[in-house]
Structure 1
Amino acid sequence: MADHGAKAALYDALAESAKALANGRRAELVDVLAQGERSVEDLAAEIDQTVANTSQHLQRLLRSGLVESRREGTRIYYSLSSPVVGDLWRTMRRAAQEHVAGLEQLAADYLGDRSKLRTMTRDDLRARLRAGDVVVLDVRPETEFAAGHIRGAVSIPITDLKSRLGDIPDGADVVAYCRGPYCVYADEAVRVLTRKGVAAARLEDGFPEWVEARLPVSGG
């Protein structure tokens, strides 16, 4: 019979990745890093934490092997250690969607009323891109667009959208996307465009899911 202590140690090690993600701020960090490499300072701003607190969370993820780091001058940059980490996060998220009570209400409290927002599936968007009859807006920050984006997409960060409405062709059918199903940028873009009379929809999820489905990408 195998030694039970050895078995316990094995299962403790197998649970290490889940333990590292068992914190909302670290989950946020993984969600942002699924878009591409970012500096500690950028990550701190994204999750609304101090650089010191963010560094502590990143060190925990680093010890678990979920992220890796590199130094460039005085700055330290982090990235996911492999695509499997992004898969793990998305699986955890899907499990929560299926089994965590009250999650829909929490999402609604954060995202607002989505009932009037048009959506488009990945398959439909791919077909529209092939037909060339849609404008795809990546409304994430420019650094994330540069790290990788849907092939054919145009970068207009949500912070610049109102000042760049003139960049969108008259009569265009627009699809906006951002980081994933709980990212507010695409929702806000659709609301802004709709108020201006532009036919707009949001991609049903986001760029990581597009990559996961092995659909065409550019950059990075």
Structure 2
Amino acid sequence: MTINSLKLGLFEQLAQVSKALGHANRLMILDVLAQTHCDVETLHKKLGLSIANVSKHLQTLKHAGLVTNERQGQHSVYALSDDSVFRLIVSLRDVAESQLDSMQALLLEHIQPNTDYEPISLKALREFKQPYTLLDVRPEDEFKAGHIPHAINIPIEQLPQKLNELKTDQTLVVYCRGPYCMWSQEAVNALQKKGIKAQRLAEGYPEWQVESHAF
């Protein structure tokens, strides 16, 4: 093998990973797998994609080395291959946010900066001077798989019925899957309409996990 053919072969492998990332549905699958391990049926329910579609995307991701699976009873359960896959997603997110005008426009419209809906970062949360309660609005299975310490879990669809369970004398800091998960903003909107002081956390549990491992 010549040096040029070796170089081409290596970049072809990189291209295979890049190609696997080149579909919004596959990125959403990885987003869910960053929260917890899932079988095809669970991903189908969480994302609203057909079972055939989920299976096809998972095979593409597995072929690119981005996910692994193991048999558990009658189900094949999928997970991110390792932490480097999540770091790759974060890097992709950073590039898109810094380089794409269309992405910046979406974020500005969605986050609503300089309002009560502007999120607080994990770094800022560590310096928060007032008492607060962490509220995780992800599904119960994702919370049980891992969550930020001391957080309480009320899935977003249960929030209207469980408002009376919340301590309203403290600021509620709400988080979900990550920066592009809008459940936390939906929750903050509902809480503020009830006169409850609430802020959205900019990041989610996977970002907290990566950051906590860095220290």
Asked if Structure 1 and Structure 2 have the same fold, meaning a TM-score greater than 0.5 normalized by the shorter chain, the answer is yes
Select between 178-187 and 45-54 the one with higher mean Cα deviation. Answer: 45-54
Q: Which residue of 2 aligns with 1:40?
A: 40
**How many Å apart are 1:119 and its aligned residue?**
2.5
Describe the superposition over 1:133-185 as per-residue Cα deviations: whole angstroms up to 9, x where unpaired.
21100111111111111001001111111111011023221000011111111
Give the conservation status (yes or no) of the 8 Å contact 1:107–1:182.
no
Q: Which residue of 2 aligns with 1:101?
A: 101
Q: Which residue of 1 aligns with 2:56?
A: 56
Q: How many residue pairs end up in the alignment?
A: 213
Describe the superposition over 1:69-112 as per-residue Cα deviations: whole angstroms up to 9, x where unpaired.
12222222111010000000110011011112311334467x47
Q: Tell me, yes or no, if structure 1 residue 162 matches structure 2 residue 160.
A: yes
**Alpha-carbon distance between aligned partners in 2 of 1:175 and 1:78, rounded to the nearest angstrom:** 30
For structure 2, the residue ranges without an aligned partner over 5 or more in a row are none
**How many Å apart are 1:212 and its aligned residue?**
1.6
**Alpha-carbon distance between aligned partners in 2 of 1:92 and 1:38, rounded to the nearest angstrom:** 23
**Alpha-carbon distance between aligned partners in 1 of 2:203 and 2:123, rounded to the nearest angstrom:** 12
**Of residues 143, 146, 159 in structure 2, which corresponds to 1:145?**
143
Select between 186-195 and 97-106 the one with higher mean Cα deviation. Answer: 97-106
Describe the superposition over 1:35-61 as per-residue Cα deviations: whole angstroms up to 9, x where unpaired.
121121121223321000110000110
Counterpart AA for 2:52: A
Select between 35-44 and 1-10 the one with higher mean Cα deviation. Answer: 1-10
Q: Which residue of 2 aligns with 1:136?
A: 134
**Alpha-carbon distance between aligned partners in 2 of 1:7 and 1:176, rounded to the nearest angstrom:** 47
Give the conservation status (yes or no) of the 8 Å contact 1:140–1:158.
yes
Describe the superposition over 1:171-210 as per-residue Cα deviations: whole angstroms up to 9, x where unpaired.
2210000111111110011011101111000112211211
Q: Which has the higher strand share?
A: 1
* Identical-pair percentage: 37
Give the conservation status (yes or no) of the 8 Å contact 2:36–2:145.
yes
TM-score, normalising length: structure 2: 0.90
CA RMSD of aligned residues (A): 2.2
**Alpha-carbon distance between aligned partners in 1 of 2:66 and 2:212, rounded to the nearest angstrom:** 22
Which residues in structure 2 correspond to 1:56-205 (within 5 Å)? 56-107=56-107, 111=110, 113=112, 115-128=115-128, 133-205=131-203
Q: Summarize the Cα distance change of 1:215–1:85 in structure 2 as closer, same or farther, 3 Å threshold.
A: closer
For structure 1, the residue ranges without an aligned partner over 5 or more in a row are none
Give the conservation status (yes or no) of the 8 Å contact 2:66–2:85.
yes
Q: State the secondary structure of the residue aligned to 2:162.
A: helix
**Alpha-carbon distance between aligned partners in 2 of 1:124 and 1:116, rounded to the nearest angstrom:** 15
Q: State the secondary structure of the residue aligned to 1:35.
A: coil
**How many Å apart are 1:124 and its aligned residue?**
3.0
